[in-house]
Structure 1
Amino acid sequence: MDIQVKIAITAPDGEIHEFNIAAFEKGHVDAAEIGLTIEESKELLVKLQREIVAAQTAAFCAARSTCPSCAARLRRKGSKRIQYRTVFGDITINSPRLNHCGCQPGSAQTFSPLTELLPDHVAPEMLWLETKWASLVSYGITVDLLKDVLPIGKRLNAETVRRHLGRVASRMEAELADERYSFIETCAFDREHLPNPEGPITVGIDGGYVRSREKGQSHFEVMVGKSIPTDQPDRYLGLVQSHDEKPKRRLHEVLKEQGWQENQQVTFMTDGGETVINIARNMAPACEHLLDWFHVTMRITVMGQYVKGLAHLNSNEAGEMASALRQIKGYLWNGNLHDGQAAIDDLVMDLDEIETEYASIKALRKAAAEFQTYIANTAWMIPNYAERRRYGERVSTGFVESTVNTVVGKRFCKRQQMRWSKTGAHLMLQTRTRTLDGTLRTKFLQWYPGMKPDGEAKMAA
């Protein structure tokens, strides 16, 4: 079976140009022969792309070859060949250089029209694909994936993908407005006249660790978060606290993109760390800061494990300690800070007085003392968890723990041997969070209005 593929391109002046694109000899008696193979489709796409790009750039240059002021035809100084990297192959384009018209004096005597049209020599969809997949998997796997399914040029490598992702993330960073101490812009009177908000927003923020490439430092901390509104899609947040100069602005922009307004309730759930709290401080007038239950029970569980070890040597004392931990947990769960803190103080004193040969007694005493300080410092953030649970409200940032694993663990740490600089990790977090919450394509649509949303094609019938 002989298959011929031809196209016809109608230029802006109405002239029709026809091209023979490809020819295939196909059988029809074996399943493997039915339809195009991957290699045949790559050959077809790259040839089709070459003719379409050539026609489009020629039309653009022709439109720019006359003076916009006096309509005189501009003299051509010469031309050169440039490479334009697209999803369907690297295309060589003829790029003319034209003289400026004498009616428009300026410092430059010549200009290249394609510099205006294709400043980066990389197609926006190519940048989007590279950024999306490199945000999800390693740079090397991204290259292999794209080359497997698309007629990508042989010159594409992991370093190129890394540079392109950095370029995209740096552009996002450049668009971020200045940092501010407070983002509250309205007074109480103004907020009373705002429209009724859609519903409360819950924001969970926590930290994770990434392997460091810097000498003398094995790991550094990154902050990740998740914003969950009532009637809007969830959004992710990621940054390297010791590198980022605009952490509060970054959180503010996430809330604004979700339609947040200043009379809308926002609940910030954190582990009580000062660094994390500072990101959300003075962010919203109608807000509350809660200590998530997960971090409370985690510390109680650690002490409970030590007490189980103590039971082998001092069963009576261990029984009393276990009972005290259950009592403390109950007090805190019901928001009874007065009795809860008193029970913690008693536990610390009892541990200081106990005499035992238990090897981990020092560790248990240290854990109890740290828990005493932790609860004292975060008492203002401890609500009545039982009441919140009865009303169906969140009491834990378990969803943020999974966010840490999703944003950080699966790309930066687990089964990844790569070590990161703070700058590189921070830039990766910006593209990865947008990829995970589905807003990366939206950002590209803002930059390149000619791109289409996912699933939307523009084809003539």
Structure 2
Amino acid sequence: MKSPRFYYCQCAQSNARTFSPLKSLLPDHIAPELTYLETKWASLVSFGITVDLLKEVLPINASLCAESVRNHLHKSARRLEAELGEEQLFFVETRQSTRAALPVPEGPITVGIDGGYVRCRDNGQSHFEVVVGKSIPQDRPDRYLGLVQTHDAKPRRRLHELLKDQGWQENQCVTFMTDGGDSVRDLAWHMAPASEHILDWFHITMRLTVIGQYVKGLNHVNPKDGEQIGRLLRQIKGYLWNGNLHEGKIVIEDLTCDLEEVETSYASIKALRKAAAEFQTYIENNADMIPNYAERRRYGERVSTGFVESTVNAVVGKRFGKKQQMRWSKSGAHLLLQTRTRALDGTLRQKFEQWYPGMKCETQDPAFDKLAA
């Protein structure tokens, strides 16, 4: 677009001699609608494919390149970052008496948080962890969360604002489900006063399955010992499933002791002992997050973060990995996660309409639709 400049009148009090009317309309030197398309499409597919799509559907000259699209996306993501408040350790802002006077909240919210890994661009580090989450209210649309915790200065504030956007209030129950890792567990701790923290059953069974695979190998060398260890594993799984943590810890202790006393030529016995010891530490560290899974299942409540496993694949795998050769900086991955999560849960358009009210679509008169039909 041509952007002519005009001289100010001599009677005008201005330090500048000239001005551009177009710049006052488009201060970012790009139409907000185009910025939105670049941001959304680049959040879903690669920067290069985004350029090809834009050139296919819009009369855009050859100067548009993948780097320009990436810079525009980063600018939008930084604007999202600037809207976040200050980071806090605790977000309980009211007293118990004040929370008791709040109106009856909507249904409970379930938040699942897990981690994934992205190839790193920096030398000396092959991968870094990204944290991905999904918030599922009972009566509102789902929302996604994504961040690089080693880069993000406001991870807890980010989660808090996501819950607030979903209508959460301080007397509303929130269930946080994690894999028990320090990075994801610390993110959700002390986030809501009426909250419960649950260790994902899937990650418990996954560790037991690994131990069980070693035990199958032990069965071929020492059938008697293998049968005994296998029986202990079944007992552990049953106790933990029914929330009997006391008995479960006792059997886990028996398991590790029996493995130390086994005399065998089994080649993977050291790996089996190590896996059992790590499982014992894992359960002890997350003992306060182990409920009665059987009871939760009977009442139709979630016991696993299977929905988050698919979220990790949708948010991280399909854009940052999955046979793609691109490596990422922590800041670049973090900024892309902010726009990608909004593109996936459908809130990116709302945010652009908030920034640029002129982008809002006018509601068409139903009578006109009826007449057109």
User: Shorter-chain TM-score category?
Assistant: over 0.9
Deviations 1:285-327 (A, max 9, x none): 1001110101111100000011111111111111111111111
Query: Matched residue of 2:220: which SS?
Result: coil
| 1:180 Cα deviation from its structure 2 partner | 1.0
Structure 2 residue 1 is matched with structure 1 residue 97: no
Instruction: Measure, in 2, the Cα distance between the counterparts of 1:121 and 1:452.
Output: 20
Q: Partner of 1:151: helix, strand, or coil?
A: coil
Is 1:324 aligned to 2:212, yes or no? Answer: no
Bigger RCO (CA 8 Å, 6+ sep): 2
Q: In structure 1, how many angstroms separate the alpha carbons of the residues matched to 2:28 and 2:184?
A: 38
What CA distance in whole angstroms lies between the structure 1 residues aligned with 2:43 and 2:216?
43
Deviations 1:89-110 (A, max 9, x none): xxx22422231563x5343344
1:115 to 1:147, Cα distance in 2 relative to 1, 3 A: closer
Tell me the distance in 1 between the aligned counterparts of 2:3 and 2:219: 82
Hey, what's the Cα distance between the residues in 1 that align with 2:10 and 2:207? 75
Q: Does 1:373 align with 2:291?
A: no
Letter in 1 for 2:101: H
Task: Say whether residues 1:254 and 2:162 are aligned partners.
Answer: yes
Aligned partner of residue 255 in structure 1, secondary structure: helix
Report the structure, 1 or 2, having the larger helix content.
2
Is structure 2 residue 266 aligned with structure 1 residue 341? no
Residue identity in the other structure for 2:79: R
Matching of residue 393 in structure 1 with residue 279 in structure 2: no
Deviation at 1:452, TM superposition (A): 2.3
Looking at structure 2, the residues matched to 197 and 416 of structure 1 have their Cα atoms a distance apart, in angstroms, of 44
Pair 1:439-2:323 in alignment: no
**Helix, strand or coil: the match of 2:358?**
coil
TM-score (norm 1): 0.77
Q: Of 244, 252, 264, which aligns to 1:356? A: 264
Cα deviation for residue 187 of structure 1 reads 0.8
Give the aligned partner of residue 33 of structure 1. Answer: none
1:134 aligned residue (42, 51, 65)? 42
Q: 2:110 aligns with which of 196, 202, 227?
A: 202
Give the whole-Å Cα distance in 2 for the aligned partners of 1:209 and 1:348. Answer: 31
Give the Cα–Cα distance (whole angstroms) in 1 for the partners of residues 186 and 230 of structure 2.
Answer: 35
1:135-169 residue CA offsets vs partner (Å, 9 max, x unmatched): 11111111122222332322222111111111111
Partner residue of 1:286 out of 170, 175, 194: 194
Contact 2:3–2:22, Cα closer than 8 Å, also in 1: no
* 1:236 match: 144
**2:125 is the alignment partner of 1:220:** no
Distance 2:156 2:193 in 1: 14
Distance 1:329 1:94 in 2: 71
Q: Which amino acid aligns with 1:93?
A: K
Who is 1:182 aligned against? Answer: 90
Give distance in 2, aligned partners of 1:398 and 1:214: 32
User: TM-score, with normalisation over the residues of structure 2?
Assistant: 0.95
Answering whether residue 171 of structure 2 is matched by residue 263 of structure 1, we say yes
State the match for 1:428 in structure 2. Answer: 336
Shift of 1:280: 1.4
| Paired residue secondary structure (1:238) | strand
Query: Does residue 211 in structure 1 map to residue 89 in structure 2?
Result: no
CA contact (8 A) 1:205 1:223 kept: yes
- Cα distance change, pair 351–431 in 1 and its aligned pair in 2 (3 A): same
Percent identity between matched residues is: 70
Unpaired stretches in structure 1, ≥5 consecutive residues: 1-91
1:16 corresponding residue in structure 2: none
The 3-state SS of whatever aligns with 1:414 is coil
Say yes or no: does 1:383 pair with 2:275. no
| 1:346 partner SS | helix
Task: Give the Cα separation in 2 of the matches to 1:422 and 1:274.
Answer: 19
Q: Can you give the 5+ residue segments of structure 2 that lack an aligned partner in the other structure?
A: none
Aligned residues: 368
The range that moved more, 269-278 or 398-407, is 269-278
1:100–1:111 contact (8 Å) kept in structure 2: no
Does the CA contact (< 8 Å) of 1:100 and 1:110 recur in 2? Answer: no
1:376 alignment partner, SS class: helix
Distance in 1 (alpha carbons) for counterparts of 2:105 and 2:359: 32
Please report how far the alpha carbon of residue 251 of structure 1 lies from its aligned counterpart in structure 2 after TM superposition. Answer: 0.3
Matched, 1:167 2:36: no
- 1:240-283 residue CA offsets vs partner (Å, 9 max, x unmatched): 00000000010011001101011100011111122212211221
Q: When you count strand as a share of all residues, which structure comes out higher?
A: 1
Q: 1-side partners of 2:332 and 2:363: how far apart?
A: 33
For the structure 1 residues 100 and 328, does the alpha-carbon distance in structure 2 shift closer, same or farther, using more than 3 Å as the test? farther
In the TM superposition, residue 119 of structure 1 has moved relative to its aligned partner by: 1.1
